[in-house]
Amino acid sequence: MAWFERIFGALTGDTPSKPSNDVVQQAAANTSLPPERIGIAGEYDESGLAKRVALAFDEDPELDDIGSLWVAQKGGTVVLKGKVPSQGFLDKAVNIAQFQPGTAEVDTSQVSIE
């Protein structure tokens, strides 16, 4: 199972499986929505940033869905929770999350390394 599907459920309808950063930047420029609230199709989504991070994790072949790490958000902060197999895995996840439009910081205080 993929990151996005495990955390948020299956993609439906015309939802893109890989949103571009341009969609987010254009939506932010054309609306009053903060970038962390823009969903994967450019719509308002309370969990938009977390969903885009989960999809970005799915796109990285080195970041298999381990089933023990969860993605959430508090405003512009991406919150990672759970367990990871190594510091390298966590570093990779943090790096991916940091480069999503709307990410102000990444909180890993609730992550333990097995």
Q: Count of domains in the chain? A: 1
Dist. CA 9–CA 3, nearest whole Å: 9
The structure's pTM equals 0.86
Q: What is the mean pLDDT of residues 43-66?
A: 94
Average pLDDT, the chain: 89
Q: What is the mean pLDDT of residues 2-29?
A: 74
Structure confidence at residue 18 as a pLDDT band (50, 70, 90): low
Band of pLDDT at residue 104, cut at 50, 70 and 90 = very high
Residues 6+ apart with CB under 8 A from 105: 76, 77, 78
The answer to whether residue 86 scores a pLDDT higher than 60 is yes
At a CB cut-off of 8 Å and minimum separation 6, what does 38 contact?
A: 23, 24, 27, 28, 44, 45, 48, 49, 101, 102
Q: How far is CA 7 from the centre of its chain?
A: 10
Assess whether pLDDT exceeds 90 at residue 47: yes
- Structural domain boundaries enclosing 93: 3-113
| Residue 24 pLDDT exceeds 70 | no
pLDDT of residue 20: 60
**What is the Cα Rg of the chain in Å?**
13
- pLDDT higher than 70, residue 73: yes
Name the residue among 55, 59, 54, 52 with its Cα closest to residue 102.
52
Give me the sign of the Cα torsion angle 96, 97, 99, 100. positive
Residue 46 DSSP code: T
